[in-house]
Structure 1
Amino acid sequence: MKLVYVFDAYCGWSHGFSPTLTEITRRHPDLPVEVVSGGLFTGARRVPIREFGYVQGANAKIAELTGAEFGPAYERLIADGSFVMDSEAAARGISALRAAAPERAAELAAALQRAFYVDGLSLSEAATYHAVAEEAGLSAEAVAAAFTGPDAAAQARADFRRAARYGVQGFPTLLAVDGDRVTVLAVGHATAAAVEAALGAA
């Protein structure tokens, strides 16, 4: 059995779920975790953040329920409403990081979300992946180069297709996959205890 974590790096609820996923992976170090990008802001949804009027209200709710941090640098980044959340770019970045250290995919996904929601770094910039990789002790130059390469773009598209095949409609979604059997462990907000109970039932 393995865990499949379907998230979007530009999803605040995914950011809030990071501590839960971190705790589950700590409790089950031998359980493989695959991270799949879901593609929340693509196509017609790739527009300036001002068009999503609910963002700051949603962030306040996420912080209240999960304790997630939304840093001053992030608030400055989105303050004028012009910032565009591009999930295809973020998925390319996840692919580049994942390729560098696949066994650390969950940790790197959380680090990337901190880079945006705490440090206010755009997930469309190669420099962001350079910084995240360097902090994680990976080859920063290789990860930044991979972000702009064709393999990462292909993997991003493959991630979106995989999320659709699993029938995921909300982010984050945590799945337990055992052969052809797929069990939903959590969607949106969930505590580690709740996930643990669902995992035991699976």
Structure 2
Amino acid sequence: MSIRASFDNELKGLKSDLMEMVLLSQTAIENAIQALIDQDEQKAKEIIASDIKINEYDEKINHTIIQLIAQQQPVASDLRKIIAALKISSDVERIGDLAVNIAKSILHIGNGPLIKPIVEIPKMATISLGMLTDVIEAYNKEDVNLAKETALKDDEVDQLFGKLMKELLELMTSNPASLGQITQLAFICRNIERLGDHTTNIAEHIIFMVKGKKFDLNA
């Protein structure tokens, strides 16, 4: 096998590991939102325990990247792909952490009566998860336009976040006895909002990978 063919195979393996990592993180967020709706403490504990798999993929990807750079001495375009994979894996690992944070808040809330129905939070999560699905498609297709379009949806997430935080702050004033639960719901909202931010970061990494220049999608 030629050096180029060997390098291409290793790049494919790197991408495959990254896709598995994305799937695990995406599933963790989905499970966390469902656990919140169901007030399922057992599922929350399982989400926390399963984060080790995501971290293992992150370590494996980092190791592969170090080996590729050291052994293959990639040219500029290949190096951008490697660096983008490294940055994306970091954001995906953080997304897994967000699921863990949500799960921990669920455990703090417990299974007592809720201060308000869990309706808006899943809506915000659905938009954020849709962004993640689209941005990974953009990564696979190296589609800069799709990456930019996906990042624009973060405004909708931010608007919902602002609306929810205002409502929760009002509930804190009118229901001081439920302050602990309301605070945990606010933490959950913040973690979902951060999912949109990490997705936007991934979109920026894709543009760097394809175009070779940094692009601030939050500007």
Q: Fold conserved (TM > 0.5)?
A: no
Report the TM-score, using the length of structure 2 for normalisation. Answer: 0.25
Q: Which one scores higher on RCO, CA 8 angstroms, separation ≥ 6?
A: 1
Report the TM-score, using the length of structure 1 for normalisation. Answer: 0.26
**Structure number with higher helix proportion:** 2
**Structure number with higher strand proportion:** 1
